A and B are shown apart, each in its own frame.
Chain A
Amino acid sequence: MKIWIVGERKDGELRRVTAEMAGKASDLGEVTVLEVTGLERPSPRAAATALAAKAAAESPDLILIGATAAGRDLAARLAAKLGRAYAADCTDLAPAGDALEVRRPMYAGKIRATVTVPLPAVVGIRPNAFPLRSGYALPAPLAVAADPAAEGLSFVRFEAAARRGQRPELAEARVVVSGGRGLKGPEAWTQVEALADVLGAALGASRAVTDAGWRPNEEQVGQTGRTVTPDLYVALGISGAIQHLAGMTSSKVIVAVNKDPDADIFKVCDYGVVGDVFEFLPAFTAAAKAAKAGS
């Protein structure tokens, strides 16, 4: 099977999901890693036009694209342009005769589906779905030049989000520290950020928090927000509405801190602390720092 991996860069580096996909795909067939060049900003139509021209000449059986925000956008447009089957947000894939069998979430993460995808196809792969393959060296990506004018839109301006430090992105992060209404107000995030700094974590929030304007929308975890699958998810003062749980129950390890022992978040957690989140935060920040230092 001829497999293309479409890489994506962040701050000049290929995103981790590129290597995750390529390592997995190397089990299934002959892998070519590509990246679209010539576009200053993610431009799905322009990128799809360039990739489709190359695909017409080379007929890959399978095109894998990381399911980041930009990747999802590109993958859908590319599948449509090529008239190929498309499966979004896959967490596993295996050959099944002439087709591919993939696993993917549906109903905002409340259901897991097994889906048959006829080949040739475009498939989106969730970050953190596959471990990095040890001993696998990601080949240098082949450049596919795109023409920004093919987008048919003109870029006006970029508005940077305020209050954003050097944190990993929510959808890709290995650790997420998330806050809910139990934190009582935006001031509490000074302490949340201190913990996130120690853990190298991305910041998340419940919908109540982003709706109240305590935190920006892009931090919302759950249905109508981001779905996250980190190794560690720390839920602070989050009660665990079903829409929130749908977005984070695939995390490997969940820590929940809430003063209400009946909160639904405790039904999905691996480690639970029933208590005052404001007592927990400084104590755990110090303890995590010490544990990481190996003492």
Chain B
Amino acid sequence: MKILVCLKQVPDSTVRVKVAPDGRAILTEGITWAISPYDEYAIEVALERKDADPTTTVSVVAMGPARSRDALRQALAMGCDDATLVTMAAEEVGGLAAARALATLVTERKPDLVLCGKQASDDDQGLVGAALAEALGLPHVAMVTKLEPADGGAHVTKEVDGGHEVWKAPFPAVLLVHKSEKEPRYPSLPGIMKAKKKEIPEIALATLLGEGAAPPAVTVTRLEQPPARGGGKLLTGAMAQIATELATLLRDEAKVLS
């Protein structure tokens, strides 16, 4: 099986993201960057297939500025076979344009499965994966938590309200990963050494986008920190008394208990 995982480098989830003075971007100085968490799950899901069947190959592709190489290097160290960086002049590209560019790449590489995280933890749009499937004329499955080979395709487990659905996806298909069964693996030391030696070829976004008008995209005009909360009321005393006071406050002051 040939798997392609699309990933994006985003601020590490433990980072306190701050807004730049112009209010249109985040402060990137001193930020720790990481593979977007859902993409990391996608890598784990792909590598578990490779664990089960060593003939499986897992390729990774990232789109973004030069720092994205670190994310690709990390994916290689985890056990992915090869990596490609799609470079671009701007810091960001719209979701539909990203999908169009990735579709060109997928058409060239012909993987059996394309795995994407269900959304990137920066803009949190969750557009690229579904748009990629649409551009390729393929079905997609969202909220994927598990993948098993099945005759001519895969059985794909999808988290839904109240449980899980299993769908049979014929190859090729696009899967949008929500979680892996196991936590994403850490790179091994030999993995890190091996990854260091691998070439990461670059392709320019413009090459993949080809001709044609740019698809419509949204524009971020202002970023703000959420309003600070705080000034909460600490309740003290005996627990029975606290409980009664809290219930009364929630009913009469906050009006959320009725």
Binding site for B on A (CB under 8 A): 10, 41-42, 44-45, 48, 68-70, 72-73, 76-77, 79-81, 83-89, 101, 104-118, 121, 151-161, 164, 169, 175, 199, 211, 217-218, 223-224, 231-232, 242-243, 249-250, 252-256, 266-276, 279-280, 283-284, 286-288, 290-292
User: Could you mark each residue 132-146 of chain B with 1 if its beta carbon is under 8 Å from any beta carbon of chain A, else 0?
Assistant: 011100111111010
Question: Given known contacts A118-B216, A268-B229, is B139 in contact with A153 (CB within 8 Å)?
Answer: yes
CA–CA, A157 and B157, complex, Å: 9
CA–CA, A86 and B243, complex, Å: 45
Apart from the given pairs A153-B170, A156-B167, A283-B239, 11 other A-B contacts in the complex at a CB distance below 8 Å? A106-B220, A107-B17, A151-B139, A156-B166, A156-B168, A175-B256, A217-B159, A224-B37, A253-B256, A272-B232, A272-B234
In the assembled complex, the CB of B256 is this many whole angstroms from the nearest CB of chain A, namely 4
**In chain A, what residue has the closest Cβ to B222?**
A114
- Contact among B126, B243, B248, B249 with A72 in the assembled complex (CB-CB below 8 Å): B126
Task: Report which residue of A107, A109, A161, A243 has the largest number of chain B beta carbons within 10 angstroms of its beta carbon.
Answer: A107
**In chain A, what residue has the closest Cβ to B161?**
A169
CA–CA, A266 and B230, complex, Å: 8
CB contacts (< 8 Å) of A45 on chain B: these are 133-134, 139-140
Question: Given known contacts A72-B126, A80-B131, A284-B247, is B139 in contact with A159 (CB within 8 Å)?
Answer: no
In the assembled complex, the CB of B183 is this many whole angstroms from the nearest CB of chain A, namely 7
CA–CA, A50 and B90, complex, Å: 36
- Contact among B140, B169, B215 with A83 in the assembled complex (CB-CB below 8 Å): B215
Question: Given known contacts A110-B16, A152-B138, A175-B256, is B219 in contact with A115 (CB within 8 Å)?
Answer: yes
User: Could you mark each residue 214-236 of chain B with 1 if its beta carbon is under 8 Å from any beta carbon of chain A, else 0?
Assistant: 01111111111110011011111
CB contacts (< 8 Å) of B170 on chain A: these are 152-153
CB contacts (< 8 Å) of B129 on chain A: these are 76
CB contacts (< 8 Å) of B215 on chain A: these are 83
User: Once the chains bind, are A106 and B124 in contact (CB under 8 Å)?
Assistant: yes
**In chain A, what residue has the closest Cβ to B169?**
A153
**In chain B, what residue has the closest Cβ to A120?**
B216
Q: Count of A-B contacts with CB under 8 A?
A: 269
CA–CA, A30 and B142, complex, Å: 32
CA–CA, A85 and B139, complex, Å: 21
Question: Given known contacts A86-B127, A153-B139, A290-B247, is B239 in contact with A115 (CB within 8 Å)?
Answer: no
**In chain B, what residue has the closest Cβ to A108?**
B121
User: Once the chains bind, are A218 and B221 in contact (CB under 8 Å)?
Assistant: no
Name 13 interchain pairs, CB-CB below 8 A, sorted by A.
Answer: A68-B161, A106-B123, A107-B11, A108-B124, A114-B223, A115-B218, A153-B139, A153-B167, A155-B166, A159-B166, A275-B239, A279-B239, A286-B243
In the assembled complex, the CB of B123 is this many whole angstroms from the nearest CB of chain A, namely 6
Consensus secondary structure, chain B interface:
mixed
- Cβ of B78 within 8 Å of any chain A Cβ, yes or no, is no
User: Once the chains bind, are A161 and B163 in contact (CB under 8 Å)?
Assistant: yes
CB contacts (< 8 Å) of B168 on chain A: these are 153-156
CA–CA, A60 and B76, complex, Å: 45
**In chain A, what residue has the closest Cβ to B94?**
A85
Binding site for A on B (CB under 8 A): 10-11, 13-14, 16-17, 19, 26, 37-38, 41, 95-96, 99, 119, 121-127, 129-131, 133-135, 138-143, 145, 155, 157, 159-170, 173, 179, 183, 215-226, 229-230, 232-236, 239-240, 242-244, 246-251, 254, 256-258
User: Once the chains bind, are A80 and B96 in contact (CB under 8 Å)?
Assistant: yes
User: Once the chains bind, are B127 and A88 in contact (CB under 8 Å)?
Assistant: yes
In the assembled complex, the CB of A162 is this many whole angstroms from the nearest CB of chain B, namely 9
Question: Given known contacts A243-B14, A252-B256, A275-B242, is B220 in contact with A115 (CB within 8 Å)?
Answer: yes
User: Once the chains bind, are B258 and A292 in contact (CB under 8 Å)?
Assistant: yes
In the assembled complex, the CB of A118 is this many whole angstroms from the nearest CB of chain B, namely 5
Question: Given known contacts A112-B223, A271-B250, A286-B243, is B124 in contact with A89 (CB within 8 Å)?
Answer: yes
CB contacts (< 8 Å) of B247 on chain A: these are 284, 287-288, 290-291
- Contact among B143, B173, B179 with A69 in the assembled complex (CB-CB below 8 Å): B143
User: Once the chains bind, are A114 and B124 in contact (CB under 8 Å)?
Assistant: no
User: Once the chains bind, are A271 and B216 in contact (CB under 8 Å)?
Assistant: no
Task: Report which residue of A106, A118, A276 has the largest number of chain B beta carbons within 10 angstroms of its beta carbon.
Answer: A106
CA–CA, A288 and B243, complex, Å: 8
CA–CA, A102 and B250, complex, Å: 31
**In chain A, what residue has the closest Cβ to B127?**
A76
CB contacts (< 8 Å) of B124 on chain A: these are 88-89, 104-108
- Contact among A113, A154, A161, A217 with B222 in the assembled complex (CB-CB below 8 Å): A113
CB contacts (< 8 Å) of A80 on chain B: these are 96, 99, 127, 130-131, 133-135
CA–CA, A107 and B165, complex, Å: 29
Question: Given known contacts A291-B250, A292-B258, is B226 in contact with A83 (CB within 8 Å)?
Answer: no
CB contacts (< 8 Å) of A272 on chain B: these are 232-235
**In chain B, what residue has the closest Cβ to A233?**
B256
CB contacts (< 8 Å) of A217 on chain B: these are 145, 159, 179
User: Once the chains bind, are A271 and B233 in contact (CB under 8 Å)?
Assistant: yes
Question: Given known contacts A164-B162, A224-B179, A232-B250, is B226 in contact with A249 (CB within 8 Å)?
Answer: yes
In the assembled complex, the CB of B149 is this many whole angstroms from the nearest CB of chain A, namely 13
